[in-house]
Structures are given as structure tokens and as C-alpha cells.
Structure 1
Amino acid sequence: MAPNTRNQDLEKMQKDFAQQKKDFAASVESMFTMRTAMEAMSKKIEELEKQRQLAIQSDDDHLTTNKLTKLEFPRFDDDDVDEWLYKCEHFFTIDTTLESSKVRYAAIHMRGRALKWHLGYMKSHDKAMEDILWSDYSRFVTARFSVTQMEDPMGSLKSLTQIGELEAYYDEFDLLLTKVGLPEDCTVSCFIEGLKPEIKCPIRMFKPKTLRETYALAKLQSHSNKALVRPSGTTANY
């Protein structure tokens, strides 16, 4: 073989080897880049899955308790719907509950007759719970379970009198007060009128303006009256 031919073959082999080396290096770099991208994608998928699981857990927890305050949603069977609705409104305010979630919250915390009523209500209205306004729902549940609609809370408030301890009278007065709308001066007047004479007469002289002030004065007078009573049951002479 001529020297020139051998030189040409050698040069060709060297070029081919250099190209193969270059192609191999590029292939290795491409594989490394692909591996890095796949690892990054895998981490991203894991992160998204963790976020999804946390979101699911958060939604489950949110249906029962508020995430920050751990406020429990009130349960309801068929007893004292007015008190239950009052607690619901407080929960919705603190929880900043969406309008579309309110009926669902209420439904999963119903029991017994209340749950049966809810099922009948949903069937008769033929709507998704997300489409039912809370104002409409609460009006219907009140009409079904409220006993105050057949009572006269204003009359009961006016005729209420203290028989036992002051605290028991205040609790009963406060419960009736939630069922009526009275201006502050009328509320104070009704509260004083129902007190025992030995408490009512002294605090009238102070002319209290608010129920809080009136109750504080009544409590002081009640303690003062008890302090004047001897163990034998007779009062001290002054």
C-alpha cells in the first residue's frame, strides 16, 4: 500500500475516533441532563402529592373544626333550633365560611329527626347543597323545629320573676332576651321589675342604664343581703 494511502486511512481513523469521542461525550452529557430533569420532576411530583394530601386533610378537619381556633361546629338533632342556629352563625363568622359550604356543614352535624328532615328537604327542593342559600335553609329549619313560634317570649319576659338565686333568674332572662328585640332601657326595666323586692328597691335608686350595670348592682345587693343574714336565719337589727 502506498504511503499516501496509509496516511489518509490513518487520518480518517483518527477523525472517526475523535467524532465518536465527541458523540459519546455529548450522549453522556445529554443523559446527565435528562437524569437531572427527571429527578427534578420526581421531586416536584412528590411535593405536589404532599400538598394534595395536606389539602384533603385540611378540608376534612375544616368540616368539623376551625383550623385556627379549633371551634367545634354545633350538632343538632331536634332540640332548641334557635340556640343551634345562633351557634352556627357564630361559627360561620369566625370560620369565614363560604355561603356554598354552610348547608353542607350543617347537614353533616345533624342527627336523628333533624337529619331525616334534611333529607326530605333536599329531596323536595331538588338542588345541590352548594346552591341552597343559608338564609332560606335556616328559615325552613326554624319553621320545622322552633317552639318559640308557638310561644310568647315577650310575655314570658315581662312575667318572669326571680324565685331562687339571682344567677338562675339572669340565665332565664338572658335566654328569653335572645328571642325578642328590645331597646336597652326596656331591657333594664324588665330585668329590674322581675327581681326580688329586697334587691329591686335598692338598685332602682342608682338608675342603671345598661343590663350589665344592672346585673352588677343586683349581684352586689344580693351579696349584701346574704351578709346581713345570721346563721339562725334572722337578719341583724340596724
Structure 2
Amino acid sequence: MVNTRSEGSGTVPDPVAAQLAAIASSFESLKADVAALKHQSDQSKGKGPGNHCGEDGESSWNNNRHFRPYNKIDFPTFNGGDPRGWVLKAEKYFRYYQIPEEEQVDVASMHLEGDALDLFSWLSTDQPIQFWDELVHAFQRNFGPAEFQNPDEHLCSVRQTGSVQEYRQEFAKRSSRVTNWPDHCLLGVFLNGLKDEFKADVRIHKPQTVYKAMSLALENESKMTAARSGRSSGWNSGVKTHPNTMTSQTSVPTQSNQNATKPIPRLTETEKQNRYLRGECFRCGDKYGPGHRCKVGTFKLLEAENEGEEPVVVTEEEPKAQEAIGSRD
């Protein structure tokens, strides 16, 4: 401050000095206002001290939510079924946008469809639903699990009947209804419900949490599926080649049998004599003469491949015997 009065004198204050003092005071006040604005700006940007901490920090964070339009959240729609998931999302929506309690039922009712909307309309006819807890209770009573069903017993009875992913979803659904269950109890129930083909492989790794056991079960299922598909493809490739080989092997004698002539029974001595008198060959029955060659000369080789029939053995001495008979006569 500028001293406007001389020491030991009673002179009148200088007007210029008074103006300077007023300007200095205004400047100090302006500095304080700028510091306060800067502090408030730092808090809104998440840089100031005490952000999100304590009641003042939480209030400042909530009051600045409307400055973030990119965080727009849509209210969930409910059309029936288990209402637990919908209730959880709706309550988070109410907290995020600070919806007053007297407006929560109106906001929720605008997002009801199907059976849920029909139930709300029917209940509102007799007595309007004014509070959120009343609406939640009505939906749980009409769409939730049966009241006589014990959640703890329902969880203990869970068993894997399909894939590991389906079992994991069912386990999570049932475990969400129980409270105060220790982690090691949840782990034991999950392992006990696995199929035998996965149970031993998961237990050998000694998982400490349910989430680790779920991960091991999914990994084991993937390995088993890959191994089965590999064995299946290898078996199919063998089947494709094997019948073709057998067909090619059996087709030759089949075609040969069709072209082969039915064998002639062995002749008795009387029949041989009669053929000789008629000038016929003992083997084929055709007219016999010098240089004669039977048409069924290869019959002996073909008949050796037919199973179940006794092959006819034809010796090479028969034509010579026929010549001997002719020369003897």
C-alpha cells in the first residue's frame, strides 16, 4: 500500500496514490478469481487434486458428465424372461444419468415390449406402479425363477451335457443367483459337473480359480476336437482307396468267369470210345483231325481261381491216347 500521509504531518492524501491502491486491490482479487477458475478447470479435466476422491470430487465428476456426449448410453429393452440382467443394466443407467427415483418407473416403462409391456399395463390398471422396487418385484415374481427352487441346490446340480462353452454359460447363470459362496466351493462344483473326458485333464493342472478351470476345459476341448477330426480324415482316406483296390482285384476274375466256358465232365471209357467212333475230340467234342487244337485249352488255368469248385484236371496225354486208339484200330 502506498502511504498517502507523510510521517508526522497532517497533509491531505494524494488522489493518485489512492487510485493506485484501488488498482492493486482489484488486481489481487482478479488473481484469486483466475486461480479459482483454473482449479475448477483442472478438476473437470481429471488433472486437479482430489479428483474422484471424497464427496467434493465425486460431486464434481458427476456434475461434469453432461460435457461428454460421446458416452451416450441407451436404456436396455425388456420383453420378458429372467429380469436380473435387465435390472442390473437399468440401475446402472439410473446412477450414471442421476435419474430421480420418481422418474425411474416412467423411464423404464418406455422401454418395455411384449409380455413385459402387457404385464406392466395390466398391473397399472388397478394401481399405478410408482417406485422402481415395486416394478422389479413384479417382474421377478412373474418372469423370474420359480420361488420353490433353491438357488444353492440348483447350482450344485449343474452338469455338462453339451460343449464346454454351453456348460460355462449355464454355470455362470446359476452361480449369479447364490451369495456368499467361497471360491473353492464354486471351483469344486464346476469341476464336478464337467464330463469325465475333460475332468481328469483339468484337475491334473490343479487350477486355483473357476476362471482358470474354465480356460483349461476350453483348451482341452479344442485339442480333443482337433485330434478327432484328424483321425476321421485319415480313416476316410483309407476307405476311399481300399474299396477301389478290392474292386480292381475282383473285377478281373469276374469278367474272366463271364467269358469262360463251362467245363466238360470227365468222360468214361465208353463215352471216349463213342466219340472216337464219331471222329470227335475227347476234350472239346469238336471234329478231330491232324493239327486239331481245343478251344478250351486254357480252361485249366481259369478254373484254378474259382473257390468252391473242384478243378477239372486235364492231362496232355488225352490227344495222344486218342491217336493211340485210332492207330490201334
Is the TM-score greater than 0.5?
A: yes
The CA deviation at 1:215 is: 1.1
Greater alpha carbon shift after TM alignment, 210-219 vs 83-92:
83-92
Partner of 1:109: 111
Which residue does the alignment assign to 1:146?
A: 144
Kindly indicate whether structure 1 or structure 2 has the higher relative contact order, using CA contacts under 8 Å at least 6 residues apart: 1
Provide the rounded CA distance (Å) in 1 between the counterparts of 2:208 and 2:80. 38
Matched residue pairs, number?
167
The Cα offsets for residues 27-52 of structure 1, whole Å up to 9 and x where unpaired, read as: xxxxxxxxxxxxxxxxxxxxxxxxxx
Q: C-alpha displacement at 1:166, in angstroms? A: 1.0
SS in 1 for 2:222: helix
TM-score, scaled to structure 1: 0.58
Shift of 1:152: 4.1
Deviation of the 1:191 alpha carbon: 1.0
* Distance verdict in 2 for CA 1:102–1:168, change over 3 Å: same
Report the Cα offset of residue 170 of structure 1.
0.8
2:184 equivalent to 1:193: no
Q: Secondary structure at the match of 1:229?
A: helix
Q: Is the 8 A contact 2:151 2:178 kept in 1?
A: yes
Once residues 115 and 160 of structure 1 are traced to their aligned partners in structure 2, the CA distance between those partners, rounded to angstroms, is 32
Letter in 2 for 1:172: E
1:147 CA drift (Å): 3.2
Give the equivalent residue in structure 2 for 1:52: none
Q: TM-score, normalised by structure 2?
A: 0.44
Query: Residue 212 of structure 2 aligns to which amino acid in structure 1?
Result: E
What is the one-letter code of the residue matched to 1:145? F
Cα deviation code 1:187-234 (max 9, x no counterpart): 111111111222211222333222222211222222233344353349
**Deviation, structure 1 residue 162:** 1.7
For the 8 Å contact 2:82–2:140, the answer to whether it is kept is no
Residue 108 of structure 1 deviates from its aligned partner by 0.8
Distance 1:122 1:156, change over 3 A: same
Q: Distance in 1 between matches of 2:165 and 2:222?
A: 12
* Residue 162 (str. 1) matches residue 164 (str. 2): no
Per the TM alignment, residue 173 of structure 1 is displaced from its structure 2 partner at its CA by: 1.4
Q: How many Å apart are 1:145 and its aligned residue?
A: 2.6
Who is 1:220 aligned against? Answer: 219
For 1:81 and 1:114, locate their aligned partners in 2 and report how far apart those are by CA, in whole Å: 10
Alpha-carbon spacing, 1:148–1:219, altered in 2? closer, same or farther (3 Å): same
2:170 corresponds to 1:172:
yes
RMSD between aligned residues: 3.0
Q: 1:136, 1:120 → 2: CA distance?
A: 14
Q: How does 1:1-238 map to 2 (within 5 A)?
A: 67-125=69-127, 132-181=130-179, 182-229=181-228, 231-233=230-232
CA shift for structure 1 position 153: 4.0
Percent identity over the alignment? 26
Deviation at 1:122, TM superposition (A): 3.7
Which one-letter code corresponds to 2:217 in the other structure?
A: A
